[in-house]
Structure 1
Amino acid sequence: MARTIRAIAAVAGAVAVFATVSCSGDDEPQRDPSGNVTETADSADVFDIKVGDCLGDVDNADEVTDVVLAPCEDEHTHEVYAIAEVPDGQFPGADAFQNRATKQCGARFAEFVGVAWKNSELDYNWLQPTEESWEQGDRQIVCLAYDPAGPVTGTLEGAGR
């Protein structure tokens, strides 16, 4: 069974870093014609997530073997609000990913939430390629908004807080 890994990182780097692992053969998420997730998928491939998707419980373990996709109207912990492309070349490394993600995800945070990150109650982190996924062509940083106070119901888009 093939395994592909993406790491998740935090803005300040103070939160533990953990990997999100996807396995071939995972369930395809159920989506409506607009692309919105319509029912929870307990075992969705990390590479199937899209802008606007809400993630169920994102475990703080060192490795997460499944990504839970949930309809945004259901309780969830993170929401995908942007995907930034990383140019081809050698694997950039942790510092380069943090710089790019902070710049790209930070700039798009205000557009999504409606308030600048430094003035918001909300926070963000991101999924980034690992050396293994980079070798397989992964060039995306996936920006995730979340409420540090805990799970939310409904989208964080335009939350203004």
Structure 2
Amino acid sequence: MTAGVLKAFAAGALLTVLAGCTSAPAPVPSPSPTVSSSTSALAKLGPGDCLGALDDGSFDLAKVASTSCTGPHHWEVSEVVPLTGEDYPGAIDLKQQADADCGTAFADYVGAEPGYSRYLPSYLVPDETAWSDPSSRRAVCLAGSATEELRASIKGDTQLFARIGECTQSNGAATAPKVVPCTRPHEYEAYAEKQWTGKAAPTKAESEKLYTEVCVKEFTKFVGIDVGRSRYEIAAFVAPADAWDKIADHRLVCTVGTAGGTLTGSVKGSKE
């Protein structure tokens, strides 16, 4: 197999695909109007609190409670934004306020803008019944994932590309691959990385040098055979120059696998 190519993602393409889910995120569905006064989670949650899954559209705000950020969770509260007014402004108005405020809160909390992070922003806002309690007139901004179970706080987690030991599946030709469990079918597995400490993106020559010194060298150690004789290829990822200031993840990440493949488990030590 060939040694693969160094892949850099175009900022526009990356933003287009990922921002479809993040830059104007659909909020976590508002609960049915059965919340009694002073029981809404909106009055109790604060920045740094963590929550479980809220993506089935049928949860009750009165039953939403924080959980440990060091254990399984899906969402973290990035900020709480006060909402003003005596009369209920309506779902559309609240959505517009939350879209603007929570996008900024997400960037401050995670360290990367929506669309340039492996996580998504969302929010909780009051329905008309919850609005009757002044203490619930708040937008609770969230950062996390509706599908991936988190095991530690994501505050300050700027990494976009896969971490060593994580496996990926294509997420579009010009976007960062989606991280999936290695026990599920996947295309590539991350096995090496190196932080680029330069103030600007590496040049083509610097990228190629990194690729050889890190990806090619570590491939032999990881798989147990050199890449020229392996059935697998290398796909390496680094943020491109035109998105360097947007993408906070400045690592070169080396992955091994086959495009369109259906690997299951790790190829470590396979000697294939």
For the pair shown, the structure with the greater C-alpha radius of gyration is 2
1:54 shift after superposition = 0.6
Do structure 1's residue 52 and structure 2's residue 48 form an aligned pair?
Answer: yes
The question of whether the paired residues in 1 share the 8 Å contact of 2:28 and 2:55 is answered with: no
TM-superposition CA deviations, 1:26-67 (whole Å, max 9, x none): 8xxxxxxxxxxxxxxxxxx61322111111233514233622
**What is the rounded CA distance, in whole Å, between the counterparts of 1:82 and 1:76 in structure 2?**
17
Structure 1 equivalent of residue 155 of structure 2: 157
Do structure 1's residue 119 and structure 2's residue 132 form an aligned pair?
Answer: no
Do structure 1's residue 101 and structure 2's residue 114 form an aligned pair?
Answer: no
Structure 1 equivalent of residue 12 of structure 2: none
Gaps of 5+ in 2: 1-21, 160-272
1:126 shift after superposition = 0.8
Give the aligned length: 133
Superposition pairs of residues 1-161 of structure 1, within 5 angstroms: 11-13=24-26, 17-19=29-31, 46=41, 47-58=43-54, 60-64=56-60, 66-137=63-134, 138-161=136-159
**What is the rounded CA distance, in whole Å, between the counterparts of 1:143 and 1:16 in structure 2?**
10
CA RMSD of aligned residues (A): 2.7
**What is the rounded CA distance, in whole Å, between the counterparts of 1:48 and 1:89 in structure 2?**
20
TM-superposition CA deviations, 1:92-141 (whole Å, max 9, x none): 11111111101100011111101011211211111111111112213200
Aligned residue type for 1:157: K
Moved over 4 A (4+): 20-24
Aligned residue type for 2:105: R
**What is the rounded CA distance, in whole Å, between the counterparts of 2:28 and 2:44 in structure 1?**
24
TM-score, normalised with respect to structure 1: 0.71
Structure 2 equivalent of residue 3 of structure 1: none
1:22 shift after superposition = 5.7
**What is the rounded CA distance, in whole Å, between the counterparts of 1:57 and 1:16 in structure 2?**
10
Higher helix share: 2
Gaps of 5+ in 1: 1-9, 27-44
